[in-house]
Amino acid sequence: MTDIRAVPKVTGEFKQGDTADLFLKVTDFDGTPTDPSSITITVSGPIEGPSEDEEVVLTEIPFQIENGFYVYSWIIDGGQPIGTYLIKWVYVIDADIREERNYLVVTSNVDTNPPLYADRVRAFMQALEYHICCAQSIPVYFEQAKKSRDRNKFKFTFNKWNQSAGVRIYRNQQIMNEGVEVNYFDGSATFDDTLLPQDIINADYNFRWFSDEELNRFLSNAVLSFNVFPPHTDYVLETAPDRYITAIIYGAARDALRQLMMCLQFQEPQMVFGGPDGAAKAFTNFESLKKNYEEDFLKLLENKKFGPYPQTKIISTPEFTLPGGRSRWFRMLYK
């Protein structure tokens, strides 16, 4: 295990008494899901000040959903102290001990909007990632960092690095095992000591094209598009019926590809595909894929008005007239 430190990020707010589902996706450097030989999750806190040597709330073995994908449901006590908690995953791959760290906030109340990491919202985001999986796990090899004026912090082209894939930091082509802190979220490395002007910093990293916030926006837009088709509905991600999940996922995948195609018009994103020529070929392929998703999405939207059908019943109500006569009338009721 190296002594390279990672900067944690706040990944959600949860109310006292709620259940926080904590997820981890473990991959090799190329983004292929892989199972560690051992894995644990530790929750400690609340964190006060710069120290993270706080009281351990729990240490457990998470539940494996599928190859490389793990979840642990933390049932937050109703009297859990309010504050920020450190979520630390520790796992072993090929005798290499790795860590992934995030923060979680426990509050007495949360915003009325559905939290980004609520159970069903997170399930939608995971389903969407299956359709754009390669864009969420892109390896970059030996990229040279942009130098900073203070020669301490060095930035790389892409952010949103996948922690589980790990990172390799090179100083003058020598791998660094200590004395550096990596920020997986903004794509930077900060050294403890000021480097020399002639030092060259490189890195191998694996990044995801879309953030959780972007995936959530694509899904929310797909639900809004779905709502305007007849009959009009007012669904959100947490209330949309299961029969409409496919339509929502296809609509979100279409928007994700649309954004990716727009990014390929600019210089730095084109580097992922080998430059302008490779990006142009990728754009054409993405266009065909986007049209397929769009056609399926529109077909599902058109079928929305056909079902499920309302139930129809005939109710017969007798009405009596003067002696010697009787009549009936029928009324159609819909529900």
Whether residue 119 is contained in a domain is answered as no
Whether residue 321 is contained in a domain is answered as no
Whether residue 315 is contained in a domain is answered as no
Number of structural domains in the chain: 3
The reply to whether 166 and 235 lie within a common domain is no
Q: What is the pLDDT of residues 68-108, one digit of tens each?
A: 888 888 999 989 999 989 898 899 888 888 888 888 889 88
Q: What percent of the chain lies above the pLDDT cut of 90?
A: 37
Least reliable range by pLDDT among 51-55, 232-236, 243-247, 329-333: 329-333
Q: pLDDT-derived band of residue 2, with 50, 70 and 90 as boundaries?
A: low
The reply to whether 92 and 191 lie within a common domain is no
The reply to whether 203 and 283 lie within a common domain is no
- Please return the burial class of 194, using the count of CB atoms within 10 Å of its CB with bins 0-12, 13-18 and 19+: exposed
The reply to whether 22 and 109 lie within a common domain is yes
The reply to whether 157 and 199 lie within a common domain is yes
The domain boundary residue, chosen from 188, 207, 226: 207
The reply to whether 203 and 216 lie within a common domain is no
The string of DSSP letters for 67-105 reads TTEEEEEEE--TTPPSEEEEEEEEEEETTEEEEEEEEEE
Residue 193 and residue 182 in contact, taking contact as beta carbons nearer than 8 Å:
no
Q: What percent of the chain lies above the pLDDT cut of 70?
A: 83
For residue 23, give its domain range. Answer: 5-114
Please give the Cα distance from 236 to 214 (Å, whole number): 16
Q: pLDDT-derived band of residue 150, with 50, 70 and 90 as boundaries?
A: confident
Whether residue 129 is contained in a domain is answered as no
The reply to whether 196 and 216 lie within a common domain is no
- What pLDDT is attached to residue 117? 58
Tell whether pTM > 0.85: no
